[in-house]
C-alpha cells in the first residue's frame, strides 16, 4: 500500500534544471536507499517531498489524493519528517530540550523537567544512543552525537515518512549498527524510510529498495540482492571508477617534516610521539573520542601543546602565536558547515581565501591568481557548479567539501591536515580525493589524514597511527593495516 506517490517532479534554480521529472512511489514500512553523486539532486528531491521547496512541475499524492505543500510545516503536518544534511540544533540548549523542542512536556504551564529528561532518555535509548547525557549542552557534543540528537528529535513524534539525508556520516560503526536496528524496527511498525547515503555497503545492508539519481534523473531501481557495490557505482556515475592503492616504492625522503615529541594538551591527549616524513601520508585512526581531531588541532596550532614539542620541518613551532594557524600548515576541518565554509560568499571567494596572503602584492589581491586557483581546482577536483560566482552555500554538500580541500591545497602548505576528508562525498569524488592526496604526497607534500574508515586509511596512507583514549598506542605500516589489528589497538585503552 503506497503512502506517497511523486510523479514527474521538476525543479530548477535560476534556469539550471536540477530535477528532470522524477517519479517515486513509497510504500508503508519500506526502507528506500537514495543514491547518487554529489549534486545529483538527492537533497533537492527530498526538499520537494517534504514541502521545503515547491516543485516547478509534477504531482505529489499522499494516500491517493493530491497535496500541495506550501512549506515544511505542511509536510510535517502530513507526517513527513526530514533530517537534513546540515544539522539544525540549538547549540546552547541541552540534549533533552533539543529533542523535545516544540513539544516540551508541561505541568501547570511550566516545563516539567523531570518528564522532559525521562522522555528524552527514552527516545535516545530507542535509537540506540543511550550513552548521550540528556543534560549535556548540545554544542559541546561531538558531531556524531549531534547527529543522533537530531535523529532523536525527528522521531520523537513517530512520523509516517522519515527522510534522512546522510544521517550516518559522522557515526561510529557501533552507533550505525544500533541505529540501523532502530530503523528496521520503525519500518516494521509501518514508517516508510528514505535513506540517503554515500556509503554503499550501508545502503546494501539496510534497504529494501535502492533508487539511483544521476543528474536529476532516476536512472535505476534495484533490489539490494541483485546489486553490488560495483554495479551501483556504474549506475551512479556511468563509469566504473574505484581507487586502488598502488604500493609506492619508498619515494619518501628520510627528512622528517613533522615531529611530535611527547606532546600533551593537558586535557585528553597525553604523551604523543611520532614522526612523519616529507612526502608521506600518515593516517590517524581511532574510535570516537580517541582524540584524532584534537591532535590535528594541536598540530596546526589551534590547541595548546602544554607539554612536549611539535616541530615543523625541524623548526620548533612552540613559539608561534596561540590561536593562529601555524605557518606551512593547512587544515580541512571536520563538519564543513560550522567550521569550514563562508556561506555568504561565492565559490571563487571561498577557494581563494587560503591563497590570498601568498599571492598578494603589497596587501592587494591579485585577481589573476584567484582565477588561476579557481580553474585549476575546479577541474582537478571536479567541483560541480553553475559558475564560480555561485554562493558556496548553494552547492551540494559533497561539492562544498571539495571546495574546502581545494582551499587548503591552493595554500600550498608543507603539511596538510585532513579531518574526515570524505564525509558526505560520493564514491567518484572520493576516488578523486584519494588520487589527489596521493599525487600531492608524491610531489613532496606531507599529509596527515584522520579518519574513522579503515578502508580509507588503507587506500591512502603509508602508515597509520592508532589512538586510544588520547594515547598513541601503535604505528602500523601499510602491510600491517589489518582490520582486526587496527581495531584491537583502538580498543586497547577501553
Partner 1 sequence: MLLRLRSTFVTALGLREASVAAMILIVAAYLTYASAYFPEPRNLLNIGRQASVVGIVALGQALVIIARGIDLSVGSIIGLSAVAGAIVARETGVQGLSVPVALVAGLLCGLFNGWLYTRLRINPFIATLGTLSIARGIALLLTGGIPVTLSGFANFLGAGRIVNIPVSLILMVMLAVIFHILATRTVRGRDIFAIGDNPKAAVLAGIDLRGTRLFVFVLSGLLAGLGGIILAGNLASADPNLGMGYELDVIAAVILGGTSLSGGRGSIPGVMLGAILMALLNNAFVLLGISAYWQVVTKGLVILLAVGLDSIRRDASETD
Please tell me whether residue 344 binds partner 1 under the rule CB under 8 A: yes
Question: Which of 12, 13, 35, 11 has the alpha carbon at shortest distance from 22?
Answer: 11
Please tell me whether residue 39 binds Mg ion under the rule CB under 5 A: no
Q: Is 445 helix (H, G, I), strand (E, B) or coil?
A: coil
Q: CB–CB of 323/411 below 8 Å? A: no
Q: CB–CB of 228/35 below 8 Å? A: no
Question: Which of 185, 90, 180 has the alpha carbon at shortest distance from 136?
Answer: 90
**Given the rule CB under 5 A, which of 155-163, 251-259, 379-387, 389-397 is the region that contacts Mg ion?**
389-397
The Cα–Cα gap between 91 and 108 comes to 28
Please tell me whether residue 36 binds ligand ATP under the rule CB under 6 A: yes
The stretches of 39-112 forming alpha helices (DSSP H) are: 42-49, 72-77, 95-100
Q: CB–CB of 245/436 below 8 Å? A: no
From the CB of 215, what's the least distance to ligand ATP, in Å? Answer: 9
Identity of the residue, 39 or 291, whose beta carbon is nearer to ligand ATP in the bound complex: 39
Please tell me whether residue 401 binds Mg ion under the rule CB under 5 A: no
Question: Which partner from the list partner 1, Mg ion, ligand ATP, none does 223 bind, CB cut-off 5 to 8 Å by kind?
Answer: none
Please tell me whether residue 41 binds ligand ATP under the rule CB under 6 A: yes
The Cα–Cα gap between 356 and 159 comes to 48
Q: Which of residues 394-453 bind ligand ATP (CB under 6 A)?
A: 394-399, 426
Question: Which partner from the list ligand ATP, Mg ion, partner 1, none does 251 bind, CB cut-off 5 to 8 Å by kind?
Answer: none
Please tell me whether residue 486 binds ligand ATP under the rule CB under 6 A: no
**Which of 3, 18, 24, 459 is close enough to bind ligand ATP by CB under 6 A?**
18
Question: Which of 107, 109, 105, 142 has the alpha carbon at shortest distance from 121?
Answer: 105
The Cα–Cα gap between 340 and 342 comes to 7
**Given the rule CB under 8 A, which of 156-164, 174-182, 285-293, 329-337 is the region that contacts partner 1?**
329-337
Please tell me whether residue 43 binds Mg ion under the rule CB under 5 A: yes
Between helices 173-188 and 143-155, what is the axis angle to 10°?
10
Report how many residues bind ligand ATP under the rule CB under 6 A. Answer: 20
- In the complex, which residues of this chain contact ligand ATP (CB under 6 A)? 13, 18, 36, 38-44, 85, 384-385, 394-399, 426
- In the complex, which residues of this chain contact Mg ion (CB under 5 A)? 43, 85, 397
- In the complex, which residues of this chain contact partner 1 (CB under 8 A)? 13-15, 53-54, 71, 300, 302, 323-325, 330-331, 333, 338-345, 349, 353-354, 356-357, 360, 363-365, 389, 407, 411
Amino acid at each position: 500500500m503506497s503512502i506517497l506517490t511523486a510523479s514527474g517532479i521538476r525543479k530548477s534554480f535560476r534556469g539550471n534544471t536540477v530535477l528532470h521529472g522524477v517519479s517515486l512511489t513509497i510504500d508503508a514500512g519500506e526502507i528506500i536507499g537514495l543514491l547518487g553523486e554529489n549534486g545529483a539532486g538527492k537533497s533537492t528531491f527530498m526538499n520537494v517531498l517534504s514541502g521545503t521547496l515547491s516543485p516547478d512541475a509534477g504531482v505529489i499524492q499522499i494516500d491517493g489524493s493530491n497535496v500541495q505543500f506550501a512549506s515544511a510545516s505542511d509536510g510535517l503536518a502530513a507526517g513527513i519528517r526530514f533530517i537534513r544534511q546540515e544539522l539544525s540544533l540549538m547549540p546552547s540548549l541541552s540534549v533533552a530540550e533539543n529533542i523535545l523542542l516544540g513539544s516540551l512536556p508541561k505541568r501547570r504551564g511550566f516545563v516539567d523537567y523531570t518528564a522532559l529528561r525521562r522522555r528524552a532518555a527514552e527516545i535516545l535509548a530507542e535509537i540506540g544512543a543511550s550513552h548521550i547525557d540528556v543534560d549535556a549542552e548540545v554544542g559541546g557534543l561531538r558531531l556524531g552525537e549531534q547527529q543522533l540528537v537530531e535523529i532523536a528529535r525527528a522521531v520523537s513524534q513517530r512520523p509516517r515518512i522519515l527522510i534522512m539525508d546522510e544521517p550516518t556520516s559522522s557515526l561510529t560503526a557501533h552507533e550505525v549498527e544500533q541505529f540501523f536496528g532502530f530503523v528496521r524496527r520503525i519500518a516494521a511498525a509501518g514508517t516508510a524510510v528514505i535513506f540517503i547515503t554515500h556509503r554503499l555497503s550501508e545502503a546494501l545492508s539496510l534497504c529494501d529498495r535502492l533508487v539511483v539519481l544521476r543528474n536529476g534523473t532516476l536512472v535505476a531501481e534495484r533490489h539490494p540482492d541483485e546489486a553490488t557495490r560495483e554495479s551501483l557505482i556504474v549506475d551512479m556515475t556511468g563509469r566504473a571508477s574505484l581507487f586502488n592503492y598502488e604500493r609506492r616504492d619508498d619515494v619518501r625522503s628520510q627528512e622528517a617534516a613533522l615531529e611530535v615529541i611527547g606532546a600533551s594538551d593537558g586535557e585528553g591527549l597525553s604523551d604523543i610521539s611520532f614522526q612523519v616524513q616529507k612526502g608521506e601520508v600518515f593516517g590517524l585512526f581511532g574510535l570516537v573520542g580517541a582524540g584524532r581531531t584534537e591532535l590535528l588541532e594541536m598540530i596546526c596550532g589551534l590547541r595548546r601543546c602544554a607539554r612536549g614539542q611539535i616541530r615543523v620541518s625541524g623548526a620548533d613551532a612552540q613559539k608561534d602565536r596561540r590561536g593562529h594557524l601555524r605557518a606551512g600548515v593547512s587544515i580541512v576541518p571536520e563538519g564543513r558547515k560550522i567550521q569550514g565554509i563562508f556561506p555568504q560568499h561565492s565559490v571563487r571567494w571561498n577557494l581563494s581565501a587560503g591563497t590570498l596572503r601568498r599571492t598578494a602584492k603589497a596587501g592587494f589581491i591579485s585577481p589573476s591568481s584567484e582565477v588561476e586557483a579557481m580553474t585549476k581546482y575546479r577541474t582537478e577536483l571536479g567541483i560541480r557548479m553553475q559558475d564560480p560566482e555561485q554562493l558556496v552555500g548553494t552547492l551540494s554538500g559533497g561539492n562544498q567539501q571539495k571546495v574546502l580541500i581545494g582551499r587548503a591545497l591552493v595554500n600550498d602548505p608543507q603539511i596538510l591536515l585532513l579531518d574526515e576528508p570524505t564525509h558526505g562525498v560520493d564514491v567518484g569524488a572520493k576516488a578523486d580525493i584519494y588520487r589527489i592526496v596521493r599525487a600531492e604526497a608524491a610531489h613532496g607534500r606531507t599529509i596527515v589524514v584522520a579518519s574513522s574508515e579503515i578502508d580509507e586509511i588503507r587506500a591512502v596512507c603509508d602508515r597509520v597511527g592508532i589512538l586510544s583514549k588520547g594515547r598513541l598506542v601503535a604505528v602500523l605500516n601499510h602491510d600491517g593495516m589489518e582490520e582486526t589489528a587496527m581495531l584491537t589497538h583502538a580498543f586497547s585503552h577501553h
